[in-house]
Chains A and B, each alone.
Chain A
């Protein structure tokens, strides 16, 4: 537990929002270098090493080179690097916030943040939807794997429809079951 872990989810999320907007205004290579250094230093402060930094920006590993190439061609090397570094820094920062904050804390912060909008948004519901999305990622990942195995066992790995149908059916089934479980646990009461 570092100071960053202990810091409330609200300040962290607010900080992330401020940083995202502030980063938009940074358009010099020096400025971006400072931003990247700060993000790396924050990872250090949370005792997260290079591997954690990489795991945060990993989702960008295909997208970023493409973006870099296109920008390089359109606006030149310097601006392209600034833009891409900005994006990577921001994603790493967001990763840092999630890595140092429990889901419950993020949801509580979100609920508090949405409270002023009570008249238009059911904060409890919105927070629950986000949680379920988080929880569904690994569950659906398993489903994809199972469907793929089943198709492979039948020698149909290249048939898109043979994979899509059980996947969609399985996902809808899963949604039904989840709805039932939520009702059983009193989500609607």
Chain B
């Protein structure tokens, strides 16, 4: 499977969008298997997540994933990085469940049988096997997020970035998604508002007004975040 954590390196990253400073000088080296990012709305944490697969490019500074510059090798970076969005409806592009997972595997030189087999395995793993041929819009919100996760994981990315993947979910599906992320072999960067989820993470970053203001273990980082928001 994955070759262990892909080092993520941010070097003096500034991001300015529409005249607003979204990130103001972030330098990080992320090698831990489980990294969480917490922070207020509008603090810049979603932008930080989007830097990691080149969806957002730094206005100045550099981002490297696995030694690849996201500016020069965006396509290769995106092949290594799976991205889970908050709203699965935005992420699901195919009308039916199995087709959406298969969409992730197109142009990868796999035979039809291989694609079918990998799709079936991934759906099975997320309890969606019985829904393979159902229209995606008939799934519940939680199931849709599991489908989005399946579509990301089926490509076996080296790094999984999730931007508030549980914000729209009920408690049960939040736990299912969190557990799935926790059991992955891959490196995970999780952006979240759910402070319970980060307890087992190796490293927690607190982002505030475009800067990383705390970089610590979960207990101390969460305590510092609570303090900051008080």
Q: Say if A and B assemble together.
A: yes
**A residues touching B (Cβ–Cβ < 8 Å)?**
102-104, 128, 131-132, 134-135, 138-139, 142, 174, 177-178, 180-186, 188-189
Is there contact, CB below 8 Å, between B94 and A135? yes
The verdict on B23 contacting chain A, using a C-beta distance below 8 Å, is: no
Is there contact, CB below 8 Å, between A184 and B53? yes
Is there contact, CB below 8 Å, between A184 and B93? no
Nearest residue (CB) in B for A134 is B95
Stretch touching chain A among B32-40, B81-89, B178-186, B208-216: B81-89
Closest Cβ–Cβ distance, residue B219 to chain A (whole Å): 32
The verdict on B22 contacting chain A, using a C-beta distance below 8 Å, is: no
Is there contact, CB below 8 Å, between A182 and B78? no
The 10 closest A-B pairs by CB, nearest first: A189-B75, A177-B90, A138-B137, A184-B83, A181-B91, A134-B95, A104-B99, A103-B95, A135-B95, A186-B78
A150 to B228, CA, bound (A): 34
Is there contact, CB below 8 Å, between A135 and B92? yes
Is there contact, CB below 8 Å, between B96 and A142? no
Is there contact, CB below 8 Å, between B55 and A180? yes
Closest Cβ–Cβ distance, residue B202 to chain A (whole Å): 24
11 contacts between A and B (CB under 8 A): A103-B99, A104-B94, A128-B93, A134-B95, A135-B95, A135-B136, A178-B93, A180-B90, A182-B93, A185-B151, A189-B75
Interface 0/1 of B38-53, CB less than 8 Å to A? 0000000000001001
Question: Contacts A135-B136, A180-B55: A185 and B90 contacting too (C-beta < 8 A)?
Answer: no
Residue of B74, B89, B91, B96 contacting most chain A CB atoms (<10 Å): B89
A180 to B104, CA, bound (A): 15
Is there contact, CB below 8 Å, between B90 and A135? no
Knowing that A102-B133, A184-B85 are A-B contacts, what are 13 other residue pairs whose CB atoms are under 8 Å apart, sorted by A's residue number?
A103-B99, A131-B94, A131-B95, A138-B135, A138-B137, A139-B89, A139-B137, A177-B87, A178-B93, A184-B53, A185-B78, A185-B104, A189-B78
The verdict on B220 contacting chain A, using a C-beta distance below 8 Å, is: no
Closest Cβ–Cβ distance, residue B126 to chain A (whole Å): 17
Closest Cβ–Cβ distance, residue B15 to chain A (whole Å): 15
A138 to B139, CA, bound (A): 12
Interface 0/1 of B85-116, CB less than 8 Å to A? 10101111111100100111000000000000
Is there contact, CB below 8 Å, between B90 and A178? yes
The verdict on B21 contacting chain A, using a C-beta distance below 8 Å, is: no
Question: Contacts A104-B102, A177-B85, A177-B87: A183 and B94 contacting too (C-beta < 8 A)?
Answer: no
Chain B positions within 8 Å of A131 at CB level: 93-95
Residue of A128, A135, A182 contacting most chain B CB atoms (<10 Å): A135
Partner of A184, one of B78, B95, B96, B102: B78
Chain A positions within 8 Å of B133 at CB level: 102
The verdict on B175 contacting chain A, using a C-beta distance below 8 Å, is: no
